[in-house]
Structure 1
């Protein structure tokens, strides 16, 4: 028997992700788990680590990723604008699985495979090198990131708040994603702290690499 409440009672949570970020991938898997135990619908959006880090000094090992990272987010925004925001979910799921589980990289072969898996037109790959998509990409990026400031990365989540103003926050950063009711319990706690005006940070150092189980 389904425990999902009527649609009118469902909270829509918007999450901004760059497909190549492992931490955002883990958080997004948690959100999908929360959907099974709480009245939640996760709506995906694209942000770009390449946009976020423009003009910043980044370690040498990340510089090529900043260049290569434009392709998949351009394609994500093109898919969103041409085929509807709902298509980002299957596309992001496909990209994330290929990048983080199959370890196929972030290049055009990954994008083509993800488009096929998400049942999206193959010619969307043309957006990968098309800089005309950078303007809508930046707009999508800033819609998600501006409410939380420039000192955070991905994931960023927005949920409805008082007077229709969104509660926007970075994270949570998780290793690994909680399952079943543990996922719901964490969601309850995240909403509780996010709803406190003036609450800014709860953090501890990471001592483990991403776990994608």
Structure 2
């Protein structure tokens, strides 16, 4: 372990593995770890729970509703892995899943979960959780820890920065090195500004994973 780890600011990061924007933000946070004294603390949230339960499925197209139903499987496997090996396994598993889902664009390949579990050194049997509701309570508890603070007018990722849970930052392409650090500095600044709620503009490009 890094000898300075105990002096690093822990940043809880709630993600749904299916979300490409959360994936980019997660890789940005790893870049930040290299240039600022912070450490990501990976946690689960569920876009399906947010959209189908908390928002009651309002204004969802049939296609997106079906995508949300399928997304449960990935989060359930992550929850099963957490119960098996502790929250420390989430980082390696998320990296293994996200690389396949987003960088390699293998969303529709059934082997993605098994391959990711193998890369993360986890039992193949955990893949069975994708089709079980056994771990849904753990997912909902983790998810609602974040949305109780951030509200429902959010998505994934959610980060707790200086005690405040924020949505984002949503950015593409991912800033690297000191540019990643400067973005972190800005996020930390707004998080500590009393009464700050939102900065936003419409996206004009697709997510880039390079």
TM-score interval for Structure 1 and Structure 2 normalised by the shorter chain:
over 0.9
Match of 2:71 in 1: 69
Unaligned runs of 5+ in 2: none
1:18 matched to 2:20? The reply is no
Aligned counterparts of 1:129 and 1:39: Cα–Cα separation in 2: 39
**RMSD, matched Cα:** 1.4
User: Deviations along 1:130-176, whole A, 9 cap, x unmatched?
Assistant: 112111111111112221000100000013x3xxxx21100000011
Match of 1:148 in 2: 150
Which among 77, 80, 88 is matched to residue 78 of structure 1?
80
User: Deviations along 1:5-61, whole A, 9 cap, x unmatched?
Assistant: 823321110100000100000000100000110111111111111100112231233
Which among 110, 113, 116 is matched to residue 112 of structure 2?
110
Paired positions, count: 205
User: Deviations along 1:93-112, whole A, 9 cap, x unmatched?
Assistant: 01100000111116642111
- Give me the TM-score of the superposition, normalised by structure 2: 0.93
Deviation >6 Å, runs of 4+: none
- Give me the TM-score of the superposition, normalised by structure 1: 0.92
For structure 1, which segment, 184-193 or 135-144, has the greater mean C-alpha deviation from structure 2 after superposition?
Answer: 135-144
Aligned counterparts of 1:118 and 1:9: Cα–Cα separation in 2: 27
1:120 matched to 2:122? The reply is yes
Could you tell me whether the CA contact under 8 Å between 1:17 and 1:47 is conserved in 2? yes
Match of 2:48 in 1: 50
1:177 matched to 2:177? The reply is no
Once the two structures are TM-superposed, the CA of residue 125 in structure 1 deviates from its matched residue by 0.8
Match of 1:197 in 2: 194
